């Protein structure tokens, strides 16, 4: 199950874990991603809180977590090759968190709703 | 809110799918295919920029040379007709009103090319200077000149890159191999006047072409049809100028930053006849500036951006980043920063605050990438 926020992050749920990244729409808007500023394993954040940043050549954009939880893994491949986000934004998630409240996903957009949101 | 102005190529930009954004009061293309692709095209082949947002002011009359020399930091009396000069207009405190290119046609005619974001300010400032008593004349009379603000009727393209000469000659049909660096000529094509100079803002060989709208549109279409010239937005114009250490007004220069602080005193000729800002710059040059624009290089990939704090090793704020990127040509994070001059020595270890963390960096020169001008 994948859900999207209005700030263009997604959370893909697998059991008690959520994989968070930026949407395909967001990576296209950003252009070439040159750096992903990631939190550390063990960091905890609330839904709506900034947990890092993603940078294109031109500018830095904050990463806002769609859900609350604790970081259990970061995608280290992005440290070496941030452009993976441009190649496949969904496969190349940024952080894996332990969801503290999976019901938060119900308040986010599904794929159809998100697509409509981006076309607005 | 006032609507942004549009250049004569606005329709071409939007129909070609450029990402548009406000810049200097204009709705300008930031990128076409992508900043990286466009940047690399200019470094390795040829790119074209619509820079019609730039402002142009014509100064003519018996006192034109005296007047331009009075408002401009470089020495136009030392220039030949057909030469371009880079320099600044300075206020009483030595701060930079604007940085500009001056084209010398004759002792009685000059063209000033100014930044889009400063057009209104500059025009007002230049007009005020016309009422200053002429410091170069014994009778103290005002300057006998005419000012003509021609920004609205002049459009401009910058064709930049190692293949620019070939492209301008073959695609646009303008002979330009005879132009040396920082010179210009007037030419005529199908009854239209064209001004072309071997100048630019990328650190590469290239040309800037001024003409009326219909000529510029025709040139753009020819360049697009040729397939030899990448359409470029202002995004890569900034990454290109930054890598070779060229300042951007609003970043490395402003009304409170002096040429001494910015490291541009080679464009301020203190020995020439008295001019605006001269005494302030002379004083600061003698006493030493308290701040300096320096280069910074980070070991990490984190990117320092405009406005981020620069810290010393004791974590005290000693300045701020003026421009920063992950350099496209050099594949590392670099910045220009305005810092306390006590920390400006090459190799000084400093830090940059990037969001929650600080990252170590070292002071370097500002010319991160070597210019390749054709002299």
Whether B44 and B161 map to the same domain: the answer is yes
Give the pLDDT of residue B138.
Answer: 64
In a domain, B304, yes or no: yes
Q: What is the mean pLDDT of chain A?
A: 95
User: Is residue B360 a contact partner of residue B299, using CB atoms and an 8 Å limit?
Assistant: yes
Q: Do B239 and A57 touch (CB under 8 A)?
A: yes
The greatest distance separating any two alpha carbons of chain A, rounded to the nearest whole angstrom, comes to 37
Smallest Cα distance from B375 to chain A, Å: 31
- Burial of B111 (C-beta count, 10 Å sphere; 0-12/13-18/19+): buried
Whether B164 and B239 map to the same domain: the answer is yes
Instruction: State pLDDT tens for residues B258-288.
Output: 999 999 999 999 999 999 999 999 999 999 9
Q: Do B303 and A60 touch (CB under 8 A)?
A: yes
Position B174 pLDDT exceeds 80: yes
Whether B76 and B122 map to the same domain: the answer is yes
Give the pLDDT of residue B175.
Answer: 95
In a domain, B262, yes or no: no
Inter-residue long-range contacts of B345-352, CB under 8 Å, 24+ positions, other chains counted: B349/B313, B350/B296, B350/B310, B350/B311, B350/B312, B350/B313, B350/B318, B351/B310, B351/B311, B351/B312, B351/B313, B351/B315, B352/B296, B352/B298, B352/B302, B352/B304, B352/B308, B352/B309, B352/B310, B352/B311, B352/B321, B352/B324
User: Is residue B53 a contact partner of residue B9, using CB atoms and an 8 Å limit?
Assistant: no
Instruction: State pLDDT tens for residues A85-95.
Output: 999 999 999 99
Q: Do A57 and B302 touch (CB under 8 A)?
A: no
Q: Give the dihedral of Cα atoms A100, A106, A108, A114; nearest 10 deg.
A: 140
Whether B308 and B355 map to the same domain: the answer is yes
Q: Do B302 and A31 touch (CB under 8 A)?
A: no
Number of A to B CB contacts under 8 A, please give it: 39
Residue B2 or B60, more confident: B60
Angstrom distance (rounded) from CA A86 to CA A33: 7
Give the pLDDT of residue A99.
Answer: 97
Q: Residue B344: which CATH number?
A: 2.40.30.110
Average pLDDT over residues B154-166: 98
Q: In percent, how much of chain A has pLDDT > 90?
A: 92
Whether B170 and B47 map to the same domain: the answer is yes
Average pLDDT over residues B311-320: 98
Which of A29, A30, A34, A86 is the best substitution to test chain B (most B C-beta atoms within 10 A)?
Answer: A34
The residue of chain B nearest to residue A53, with distances taken between CA atoms, is B355
Give the pLDDT of residue A42.
Answer: 96
In a domain, B374, yes or no: no
User: What residue has token string 């646009």?
Assistant: B172
Residues 6+ apart with CB under 8 A from B279: none
List, in sequence order, every beta strand (DSSP E) within chain B: 19-23, 26-31, 47-50, 55-60, 83-90, 96-106, 109-114, 146-149, 155-160, 184-189, 192-197, 206-211, 230-232, 291-298, 309-311, 317-326, 333-340, 349-354, 357-364
Instruction: State pLDDT tens for residues B93-148.
Output: 999 999 999 999 999 999 999 999 999 999 999 999 998 876 666 667 788 999 99
User: What are the CA-CA distances from residue B70 to residues B63, B66, B89, B92 (Å)?
Assistant: 10, 6, 9, 12
Q: In percent, how much of chain B has pLDDT > 70?
A: 98
Strands B309-311 and B349-354: what pairing?
antiparallel
Whether B234 and B159 map to the same domain: the answer is yes
Instruction: State pLDDT tens for residues A43-78.
Output: 999 999 999 999 998 889 999 999 999 999 999 999
Position B1 pLDDT exceeds 60: no
Whether B175 and B30 map to the same domain: the answer is yes
Position B218 pLDDT exceeds 80: yes
The residue of chain A nearest to residue B34, with distances taken between CA atoms, is A31
Instruction: State which residues form the domain around B114.
Output: 55-137
Give the pLDDT of residue B3.
Answer: 83
The residue of chain A nearest to residue B323, with distances taken between CA atoms, is A58
Residue where a domain stops, chosen among B137, B171, B191: B137
In a domain, B281, yes or no: no
Whether B42 and B61 map to the same domain: the answer is no
Give the pLDDT of residue B190.
Answer: 87
* Cβ neighbours of B333 in A, within 8 Å: 35
In a domain, B226, yes or no: yes
- Structurally, how many domains does chain B consist of? 3
Smallest Cα distance from A85 to chain B, Å: 16
Give the pLDDT of residue B137.
Answer: 63
- CATH number given to A2-119: 2.40.50.100
Give the pLDDT of residue A31.
Answer: 87
Strands B155-160 and B146-149: what pairing?
unpaired
Which of A57, A61, A84 is the best substitution to test chain B (most B C-beta atoms within 10 A)?
Answer: A57
For chain A, the structural domain boundaries read 2-119
* Cβ neighbours of B30 in A, within 8 Å: 58
Q: Residue B41: which CATH number?
A: 3.30.1360.120
Q: B125 — alpha (psi -120 to 50), left (phi > 0) or beta?
A: alpha
H helices of chain B, in order, are: 10-15, 35-44, 64-71, 119-130, 164-171, 213-226, 234-243, 259-262, 278-287
Whether B185 and B230 map to the same domain: the answer is yes
Whether B158 and B113 map to the same domain: the answer is no
Give the pLDDT of residue B2.
Answer: 65
Whether B167 and B201 map to the same domain: the answer is yes
Give the pLDDT of residue B133.
Answer: 73
Angstrom distance (rounded) from CA B254 to CA B167: 35
Position B342 pLDDT exceeds 90: yes
Angstrom distance (rounded) from CA A11 to CA B238: 35
Position B355 pLDDT exceeds 80: yes
Give the pLDDT of residue B356.
Answer: 86
Whether B347 and B221 map to the same domain: the answer is no
By three-state DSSP, how is residue B240 classified? helix
* Cβ neighbours of B305 in A, within 8 Å: 59-60
Average pLDDT over residues B222-231: 98
């Amino acid at each position: 199950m994948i859900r999207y926020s209005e700030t263009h992050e997604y959370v893909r749920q697998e059991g008690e874990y959520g994989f968070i990244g930026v949407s395909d729409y967001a990576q296209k808007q950003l252009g070439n991603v040159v750096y992903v500023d990631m939190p550390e394993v063990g960091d905890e954040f609330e839904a709506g809180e900034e947990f890092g940043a993603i940078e294109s050549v031109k500018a830095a954009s904050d990463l806002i977590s769609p859900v609350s939880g604790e970081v259990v893994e970061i995608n280290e491949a992005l440290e070496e090759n941030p452009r993976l986000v441009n190649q496949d934004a969904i496969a190349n998630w940024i952080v894996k968190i332990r969801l503290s409240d999976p019901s938060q996903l119900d308040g986010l957009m599904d794929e159809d709703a998100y697509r409509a949101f981006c076309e607005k | 809110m006032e609507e942004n102005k549009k250049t004569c190529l606005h329709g071409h930009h939007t129909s070609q799918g450029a990402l548009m954004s406000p810049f200097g009061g204009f709705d300008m293309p930031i990128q076409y295919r992508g900043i990286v692709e466009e940047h690399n095209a200019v470094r390795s082949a040829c790119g074209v920029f619509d820079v019609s947002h730039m402002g142009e002011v014509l100064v003519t009359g018996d006192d034109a040379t005296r007047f331009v020399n009075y408002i401009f930091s470089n020495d136009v009396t030392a220039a030949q007709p057909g030469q371009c000069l880079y320099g600044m207009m300075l206020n009483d405190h030595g701060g930079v009103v604007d940085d500009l290119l001056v084209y010398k046609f004759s002792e009685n005619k000059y063209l000033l090319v100014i930044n889009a974001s400063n057009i209104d300010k500059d025009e007002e400032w230049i007009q005020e200077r016309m009422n200053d008593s002429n410091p170069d004349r014994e009778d103290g009379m005002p300057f006998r000149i005419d000012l003509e603000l021609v920004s609205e009727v002049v459009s401009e393209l910058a064709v930049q890159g190692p293949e620019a000469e070939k492209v301008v000659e073959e695609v646009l049909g303008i002979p330009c191999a005879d132009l040396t660096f920082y010179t210009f000529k007037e030419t005529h094509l199908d009854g239209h006047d064209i001004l072309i100079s071997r100048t630019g803002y990328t650190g590469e060989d290239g040309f800037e072409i001024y003409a009326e709208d219909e000529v510029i549109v025709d040139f753009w279409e020819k360049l697009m049809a040729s397939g030899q010239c990448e359409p470029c937005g202002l995004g890569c114009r900034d990454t290109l100028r930054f890598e070779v250490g060229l300042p951007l007004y609003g970043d490395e220069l402003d009304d409170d930053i002096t040429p001494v602080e910015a490291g541009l005193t080679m464009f301020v000729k203190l020995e020439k006849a008295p001019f605006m800002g001269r005494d302030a710059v002379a004083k600061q040059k003698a006493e030493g500036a308290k701040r300096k624009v320096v280069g910074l290089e980070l070991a990490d990939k984190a990117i320092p951006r405009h406005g981020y704090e620069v810290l010393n090793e004791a974590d005290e704020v000693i300045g701020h980043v003026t421009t920063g990127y992950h350099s496209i040509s050099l594949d590392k994070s670099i910045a220009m920063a305005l810092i306390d001059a006590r920390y400006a020595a090459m190799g000084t270890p400093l830090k940059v605050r990037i969001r929650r963390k600080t990252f170590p960096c070292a002071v370097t020169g500002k010319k991160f990438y070597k210019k390749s001008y054709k002299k």
